[in-house]
């Protein structure tokens, strides 16, 4: 798993993103974890929290979403995958290009499963 995370970090650690490569890596991983959670919730018809937000303004929805999902998720992922571990030299030495391909396949499959779940729900 760390090699896959390292492949994302390596991607963002170039050019103008160099200073925020770790943060971007954590947020992308969090985005895909949340996408998978919402896919499961859609398939289980368990989106009652999101359904209760229909009458709220867009700003309130963003605040609730950030407080309930992104802030705790970012904190947990940053504790599980500290920056020093992702930048570890042993990861650099043992990294293989197949790890990047696995990450791309995971991203594509996550989006595909979400689309299938949404179509199935309709």
Residue 65 tokens, joined? 């979403």
Gap between the Cα atoms of 47 and 53, Å rounded: 10
- Dihedral, CA atoms, 76, 33, 10, 78, nearest 10 degrees? 0
Give residue 25's Cα distance to chain centre.
8
User: How many structural domains does the chain have?
Assistant: 1
What pLDDT score does 49 carry?
66
The confidence score (pLDDT) of residue 29 equals: 92
pTM of the model: 0.80
- Domain with 108, as residue range(s), is 2-121
**pLDDT tens for each residue of the chain, 122 residues long:** 777 788 888 888 888 878 899 999 999 999 999 899 889 988 888 777 667 777 888 888 888 888 888 899 999 999 998 988 888 777 777 777 777 788 889 999 999 999 999 898 87
């Amino acid at each position: 798993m760390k090699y896959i995370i390292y492949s994302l970090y390596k991607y963002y650690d170039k050019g103008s993103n160099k200073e925020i490569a770790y943060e971007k890596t954590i947020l992308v991983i969090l985005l895909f974890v949340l996408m998978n959670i919402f896919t499961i919730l859609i398939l289980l018809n368990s989106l009652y929290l999101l359904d209760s937000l229909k009458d709220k303004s867009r700003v309130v929805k963003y605040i609730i979403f950030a407080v309930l999902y992104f802030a705790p998720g970012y904190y947990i992922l940053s504790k599980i995958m500290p920056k020093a571990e992702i930048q570890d030299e042993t990861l650099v030495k043992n990294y293989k290009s197949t790890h990047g391909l696995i990450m791309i396949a995971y991203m594509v499959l996550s989006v595909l499963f979400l689309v299938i779940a949404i179509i199935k729900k309709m």
